[in-house]
Amino acid sequence: MRFPRVAHWVFGALLFPNLVLAASTPSYSSYRVGNTSDALPKVQPRGGIALLGGGDKAEDYLPWLFEHAAGHGAGADILVIRASGTDEYNADLMKLARVNSVETIVFHSREASYDSYVLSRFRQAELLFIAGGQQNLYMNYWAGTPVETEIQKMAEHGIPIGGTSAGLAILGDFIYSSYHGSAQSPESLRNPYYKDITLDRGFLKLPFLAQTLTETHFTQRDRMGRFLTFLARAKKDWALASPIYGIAVDEDGALLLETQNENAGVATVAGAEHVYVVSTPVEQPERCTPEAALTYAGYHVQKLYDGAQYDLAHKQLVAGKTEEYQLNIKDGQISSSSGSVY
């Protein structure tokens, strides 16, 4: 009898536990290391969301996620998902004490989001990490599929979730989906509706991130202009009467959000870089139309430093250092009450 490729892989895993296993289909590739039998969590997980700004130090924050997994990581099965690359996180995650297994699934098409094996991996994981890549592929492959449902269930059950770069970009309520290319700040300010600006909403509903848009690689790629434009667009396109919020994380930095303990809603800045929490005015933009430069005054900025603790539920500083200032946009030009955009 000739087994299908995935079935053959699983059958072999049962005979030879603790192997490094790889399987590939036209719709996805899977790389698994560690124990081939799934761990049974000893206690409930302690929910948390790691918002990572991209760069080369995502591994620095994986232990925080691991500590929030069921049984504080003891015997945890970790799932990494992405739409490009390979299994580069597997080795680092396996170094964490008491990991049961690590599996990376690389999605090649939307079809994989309906695959029974793929969906089973979400249901058996105690930790989910969304790697960097292209958020347009993530939205194309996952939005409106059973994978979206499974990620939402994980969040509701307190499974810790982390995302870096594009993996962070899709965790907010509002999402810069980047279907046509990566928007740049000058073009965004000159024309808030130029082709590279595509926004979506409601892929996930994660704790304390309602009406919030997330941004990555922030100061390193000079993204303040496009970030403010995205917020103005979201405010206008969804005709909201309340402020829109944005969380922008610098490269190699992180905002680590507690979601289920006595500090639920409190997020800690980690890393030498900064995190920016920005809110729009209550009022609609003075001018946010196609082929015209953006005009919108009154953005409130809180620049958070390493170690600062911030209450996302009440949008206020709990501890640590912050700078507060106002940004105004007139005819596509940004001015700052502090003298600096950043």
**Structure-token match 């990991």, residue found:** 99
Strand-pair category, 322-330 with 174-176: unpaired
Q: Is the pLDDT of residue 13 over 90?
A: no
5 vs 221, residue with greater confidence: 221
Per cent of the chain over pLDDT 90 is: 80
State residue 162 phi and psi, 5-degree precision: -125, 150
Q: Is the pLDDT of residue 71 over 90?
A: no
**Cα 31 → chain centroid:** 22
pLDDT by residue (tens digit) across 178-205?
999 999 999 999 999 999 999 999 999 9
Q: What is the 3-state secondary structure (H, E, C) of 39-59?
A: CCCCCCCCCEEEEECCCCCHH
Confidence of residue 256 (pLDDT cuts 50, 70, 90): very high
Please give the helix or strand (H or E) that residue 235 lies within, else none.
helix 224-237
Confidence of residue 155 (pLDDT cuts 50, 70, 90): very high
Q: Which two tokens stand for residue 143?
A: 């939005």
| Residue 42, pLDDT score | 64
Report the C-alpha gap between 238 and 93 in whole angstroms.
40
| Residue 19, pLDDT score | 56
Q: What average pLDDT does this structure show over 289-310?
A: 98
**Structure-token match 């309602």, residue found:** 210
DSSP assignments along 245-279, one per residue: EEEEE-TT-EEEEE-SSTTTTEEEEESSS-EEEEE
Report the C-alpha gap between 268 and 261 in whole angstroms.
14
pLDDT by residue (tens digit) across 15-41?
444 556 788 899 999 999 999 888 776
Q: Is the pLDDT of residue 5 over 60?
A: no
In contact, 168 and 141? CB cutoff 8 Å: no
